[in-house]
Every structure is written in structure tokens, then in C-alpha cells.
Amino acid sequence: MKLFNFAYCKDFRNKIDYLATICVEDWGKPNEYTTHPILHNYIKHTFSKLYYDYENTPQEERSKIFAVQEDKYFIFNTGLYDEHWQKVYAYFTPNRYFNQQWYYEAFITEYALRNLGINEFPQRANYFSDMKELIFDINYDLILQYDHIFGDENNNQRIPEAIRNHFNKQALFDGAILNTKKRIDANYKLALPQYYDNKIQLLLPLYLTNPSTPDLALVVTRDDANKCYLGHTCLPIIWAYNNARLIAKPDSEWLVP
């Protein structure tokens, strides 16, 4: 199967709509491509991670990632649960009419798969191996890549205008960083993991114009060798939510759809 090519079938949008009815949460506002953009993004990147792992896993271990029976079915674990806490899988059958190998049938529960006589249930995508990757170490320094945050045009445009045009914006950022570290010290759940470029990063809220609503999410990478975090870039909140939702539904007061 080519990477995520099943998502281009003509009724995939309807299947995403159905999945949203059995896995109920806020999946974002509709756009021109999909009714539930966060869910669409979640399925796309979940499959991409599983596909990457499958390609880089020994043959004897691959059944834990994709359940494949040639000429019968292809299944992967979405990592989602329905309202009754049944796992939800993506289920495919052989495509007998087009060049694409598999036809995407449905999102389906474990119970329904067992009714079809299927007893193979692959694992959900795994994004980390060490729990310390998920926790911000308050004793580490936080060093920002200001030349990229301020110098890159796309990054700079994400910064609120009042801050972006301020003569002393770096000092304002430094103050916001200090404030964020204090908030995380009081509540470690404010630092949320995202998966990017085959590694875990953390998303930190930056309060630049409003003490109760963050303007941006700062992306940081842990550097244990130098006991610090490197702040690479800032993301709009909706982008940060999309990225964080891939690992788990954010349990935080600041990151919402």
C-alpha cells in the first residue's frame, strides 16, 4: 500500500464523518477538504507512523503493526476508542477493480472484526520509549533559537503584531519564557508532547499579550548532554493541538481545538 493512498478514495470523507460519530470529541471546524480536519490529520499521521515502523521492523515482528492476510484483509489500529471503550481499527479488503491493492472498507471495532472471523489485532502506534521524554525538567535551561523565530518570515508572522513590532521583543519573549517555566513548575501537565521528525518534542504555552490565553506554542527539544531544552520555533495553537493529538488527547487547560 502506498503511503496513505486509501485516504483519496471518493468516500473517505464520509468514513471520517462516521468515525467522528463513534469517537466523539472536538475534531475541529470543517474546511474545504474535510468535515473534521483534526481527525483527518490524526488518521493520516497515525498511518504514516505505523507505515514507517512497519518498513523498519524485522519481518517476524511486523504483524504487531499491520495485520495482513493476502487476498483477505489488511488492518491497522487507529489508537482510538468508541464510547464503550472498544478499540477502533481501519479495515481493508482486496481491491479487485483498480491498481491500488487494498480497498478501504470501514473503521470498525474489535467486536465487529471478531464477528467477521478475524482474530488479529495489531498494536497502536508507539511514539516514545522513555517516560522522561514526556516531562519537562524544570531544572534544565531553556535556550531559544531567536534568529529563526524572529528571522524566518513565516515564524515572525505568527507572533502577535504588538510583540512583533516592539523594539524590545526579545526581552518580552524572555519574560514570557520565565513565566512559562513557573507555570510548568506549578503544573507539569502544561508541557505537552508532540512527535516530529521521528522524535519527541514538547509544546510549551507562551503568554505574550494575555495572561490567561497563550498566543503561541513554543516547540522545544530535550538535550540531556547539555542539560537544556532548545526552543526551535513557535506554532499557532491549532497547529500545536493537531500535533499533540497524534500522541493523545491533550489533558491541559491551554491547548484546546
* Alpha carbon distances (Å) from 66 to 51, 158, 166, 177, 219: 8, 39, 52, 42, 31
Task: Report helix, strand and coil shares of the chain as percent, to nearest 5.
Answer: 40, 25, 40
Q: How many residues does the chain have?
A: 257
H or E element: which one contains 179? helix 169-186
**Residue 66 burial by Cβ neighbours in a 10 Å radius (0-12, 13-18, 19+):** buried
Name the pairing type of β-strands 192-196 and 199-206: antiparallel
Question: What single-letter amino acid sits at 154?
Answer: N
Q: Where are the domains of the chain?
A: 5-115, 131-245
Alpha helices in 29-168 (DSSP H): 37-55, 110-115, 146-151, 153-158, 161-164
Name the pairing type of β-strands 192-196 and 141-144: unpaired
pTM strictly above 0.95:
no
pLDDT given for residue 5 in this prediction: 64
Helix (H, G, I), strand (E, B) or coil at 24: coil
Per-residue pLDDT of the chain (257 residues; tens, 9 = 90+): 555 566 556 678 889 999 999 999 999 999 888 899 999 999 999 999 999 999 999 999 999 999 999 889 999 999 999 999 999 999 998 887 767 778 888 999 999 999 999 999 999 999 988 889 999 999 999 999 999 999 989 889 999 999 999 999 999 999 999 999 999 999 999 999 999 888 999 999 999 999 999 999 999 999 999 999 999 999 999 999 999 999 999 988 899 87
**Do 201 and 221 form a contact (C-beta atoms < 8 A)?**
yes
Q: Which residues contact 68 (CB under 8 A, 6 or more apart)?
A: 62, 74, 75
Rounded-to-integer distance, Cα 218 and Cα 149, Å: 10
